Amino acid sequence: MVQGIGGPWHTSRRGFGWTKDDSWLSFKVKAEDCNVQKLAGGVLMRSEQRTETVLEAVGTRSVYNSVKALVLANRMAAEALEQKGGDQVLVRRIGFIPSFARKDELQWMRLRVVAVGERPAEGGRSVGGVDVSGLESPNLKVGASTELRSLQNAILANWMQRCAGNRGEPILSAMGDASVSRAVKGAAFALRELSKRRNGARPSPSG
């Protein structure tokens, strides 16, 4: 949950420094003086163009601004869906895949924007032919001091339960820049660990 993003909002489609021929772009998100509305409009526009976008975030506040922009982009997409109807809307919702990036001594978060289809039903969708729509979605509350390894393990455990058809989709809830940044990092750790397991590596120790 990210609070403090109110409407109405007005984002011009003019003034962006790219064309649809730019199939891949990286946006460096500022920690201060970030125009969240313009960033959200750009993310939505590029999602509609089916081009790839990456948000590069250095530091807690930058990660927070990136997530705020993605939340706002989803609100814009929902508003367009309500006004125009499904046949006229190219993007229904927008997600992201977090990962860690590094160059020399500099480390930062990289959020790859992903345009996805229908919003899942409340509580989840069908998994492996099993209807999990009536199952509870665990809500993992993330604070500024939440231990990242514990968060990683909680995300993985709940996601495996989701894939087994025993639970709904896990939800990460966070408020404030430090907590939101923590949640994104925890998700990135969980995705990295899941990738290792898929490639045959042993699970990282839980301690």
Same domain for 66 and 147, yes or no, is: no
Domain boundary among 48, 82, 116: 116
Q: How many structural domains comprise the chain? A: 2
Structure confidence at residue 114 (pLDDT):
94
The predicted model gives 108-123 an average pLDDT of 75
Task: Tell whether pTM > 0.85.
Answer: no
What contacts 173, CB < 8 A, 6 or more positions away? 1, 139, 140, 141, 142, 183
How far is Cα of residue 93 from the mean position of the Cα atoms in its chain? 11
Same domain for 33 and 112, yes or no, is: yes
> 168: closest CA among 138, 196, 200, 197?
138
Instruction: Please determine, for residue 77, whether its predicted confidence score (pLDDT) is greater than 60.
Output: yes
The Cα–Cα gap between 64 and 31 comes to 8
- pLDDT by residue (tens digit) across 27-43? 999 999 999 999 999 99
Instruction: Please determine, for residue 9, whether its predicted confidence score (pLDDT) is greater than 70.
Output: no
Angle in degrees, 0-180, between the axes of helices 177-198 and 60-84, rounded to the nearest 10: 90
- pLDDT by residue (tens digit) across 88-111? 777 888 999 999 999 998 999 999
Give the chain as a DSSP string.
------S-----S-S-S--TT--EEEEEEPSSS--HHHHHHHHHHHHHTT-EEEEEE-SHHHHHHHHHHHHHHHHHHHHHHHHH-GGG-S-SEEEEEEEEEEETTEEEEEEEEEEE-SPPPTT--EETTEE-TTS---EEE--TT--HHHHHHHHHHHHHHHHTTSS---EEE--SHHHHHHHHHHHHHHHHHHHHHHTTPPPPP--
- For residue 171, the enclosing domain spans 139-196
Structure tokens at 42: 């750009």
Cα 175-160-172 angle, rounded to 5 deg: 5
Same domain for 49 and 112, yes or no, is: yes
Same domain for 145 and 80, yes or no, is: no
Structure tokens at 118: 């229908």
- pLDDT by residue (tens digit) across 124-148? 455 555 565 677 889 999 999 999 9
Same domain for 54 and 103, yes or no, is: yes
The identity of residue 136, as a single letter, is E
Domain boundary among 53, 81, 116: 116
> 94 forms bridges with which residues in the sheet?
115
The predicted model gives 43-62 an average pLDDT of 94
Same domain for 155 and 110, yes or no, is: no
**Which domain CATH number covers 75?**
3.30.110.20
